[in-house]
DNA sequence: ACACTTACGAAACACTCCGTATCGTATCGT
DNA sequence: ACGATACGATACGGAGTGTTTCGTAAGTGT
């Protein structure tokens, strides 16, 4: 019992190898995209066997999902006092995550792959939406937004713009543009109607 | 010279077969997505050989690009008198195209595939952007928008929302919500700054 | 010291798919 | 009739996925 208490029997998983797999896969994903990414080539580049990868991740999709998840840090969303400051922080957090890989945000498109998306939906999109809803609810209680504001339309407008620019057009958005868009959405907020909106996907 | 003048020698291409290939591929694409779509299975379902497909389209990406292009009708954009009416028509045209395949808009995600996107970029995204720019320029000359309005940010906000809802969340957007978003963007339009914006992609 | 359990690398495997090539047939113009 | 092209069927090479097997390494418990 020279080490930690909760040790499993047998040879322990090489966590350093896990890191190397993720970083290498991340690089190759950024360069080639999902389709052209080969598990065999990742293994070769890392210097390990495919076995090591497939023991950790069920399939290529799970690997890539984990790569993307590891690249995206979802921080806390403290109350910054105003809806505009809150939303700006919310959206900038997204941009910051992707700036790490300069133009190689090529990898971000892998998000849309059918084998990747469902896994990311819960841990990323839904999580992010919940943060957004909190921000809007705070604004409502502050009186900055009307009570019948449509949470999802407002949030999806921002998320859509970010996603469209980052993963489709691949052009960075100036912070001032975000300020303008947020300003527009807050000044003239989208209303909720009687109809219920589903929460579909994936 | 019993038929048209510009007839090529040899057996003519079966245009009905072309249509069947496109519609069948479209259906299968909607059901399975790009990756799982198999050219062989399309050929089998159509009842033709792979040769017939590969003679028409260079590869799977070209086939899918043509499928998507054939599903999207880009109509004219007549002046409807006001920026709000123009933009609403612009965005509804998008939604209408996808309503054909009810929930099978699964196929739309294929747009993001590296083998498909570049082909569609010119014939679809750029074309659509040009229409949007015209709409905005008309609005400026009407005095509905300031001269320093940022065309791309405004258009990308609308395009991003549409794309995010259609191909990611897969929830139809009520027309009234579009009206609200357009209202917000027109009432508080995003400004252009001194910095130049690139026109990157694909 | 020994058994047990698990991780690892290497290699071979079956399976699927892509895109090409070949061959014989069908269908058009001249 | 002749040349040109489209077509279906089939076989092929290349690549990738995910599984399996095997011998070895690295830990834990008795």
CA distance A73 to B51: 48
pLDDT bucket at B106, cuts 50 / 70 / 90:
confident
| Cβ-proximal residues to A168 (8 Å cutoff; 6+ apart), any chain | B112, B117, B125, B163, B201
Separation CA A153–CA B84 (nearest Å): 18
Using one digit for the tens of pLDDT, what is the confidence trace for A9-55? 889 999 999 999 999 999 999 999 999 999 999 999 999 999 999 99
| Interatomic CA distance for residues B186 and A84, integer angstroms | 19
A27 contacts chain B (CB < 8 A): no
> How many beta carbons lie within 10 A of that of residue B26, not counting itself?
21
B 56-85 near A (Cβ less than 8 A): none
A170 or B67, greater pLDDT:
B67
- The predicted model scores a pTM of 0.89
pLDDT value for A71: 87
Main-chain phi, psi angles of A149, to 5 degrees: -65, 145
Q: Of B161, B192, B166, whose CA–CA distance to B179 is shortest?
A: B161
Structure tokens that stand for B17 in this block: 């077969």
Categorize the per-residue pLDDT at A4 as very low, low, confident or very high, splitting at 50, 70 and 90.
Answer: very low
Q: Tell me the pLDDT tens digit for each residue of A50-98.
A: 999 999 999 999 999 999 999 887 888 899 999 999 999 999 988 887 6
Task: Determine contact, residues B69/B46, Cβ cutoff 8 Å.
Answer: no
Q: CB of B43 within 8 A of CB of B53?
A: yes
From the number of C-beta atoms within 10 Å of its C-beta (0-12, 13-18, 19+), residue B34 rates as buried
Residues, CB < 7 Å to strand D? A 1-3, 7, 9-12, 37-41, 50-51, 54, 58-61; B 8-14, 17-18, 47-52, 55-56
| Contact criterion met (CB < 8 Å) for A188 and B188 | yes
For residues A36-70, b (16+ Cβ closer than 10 Å) or e, as one string?
A: ebebeebbeebebeeebbeeebeebbbbbbbbbee
């Amino acid at each position: 019992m020279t080490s930690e208490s909760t040790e499993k029997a047998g040879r322990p998983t090489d966590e350093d190898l896990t890191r190397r797999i993720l970083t290498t896969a991340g690089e190759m994903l950024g360069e080639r995209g999902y389709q052209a990414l080969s598990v065999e080539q990742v293994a070769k580049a890392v210097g390990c066997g495919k076995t090591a990868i497939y023991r950790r991740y069920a399939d290529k999709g799970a690997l890539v999902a984990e790569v993307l998840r590891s690249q995206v840090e979802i921080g806390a969303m403290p109350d910054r006092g105003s809806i505009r400051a809150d939303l700006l922080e919310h959206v900038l957090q997204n941009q910051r995550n992707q700036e790490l890989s300069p133009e190689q945000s090529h990898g971000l498109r892998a998000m849309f792959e059918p084998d990747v998306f469902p896994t990311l939906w819960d841990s990323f999109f839904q999580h992010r939406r919940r943060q957004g809803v909190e921000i809007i609810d705070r604004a409502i209680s502050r009186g900055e937004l009307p009570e019948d504001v449509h949470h999802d339309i407002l949030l999806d407008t921002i998320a859509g713009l970010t996603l469209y620019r980052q993963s489709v057009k691949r052009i960075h958005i100036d912070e001032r543009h975000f300020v303008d868009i947020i300003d527009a959405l807050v000044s003239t907020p989208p209303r909720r109607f009687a109809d219920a909106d589903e929460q579909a996907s994936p």
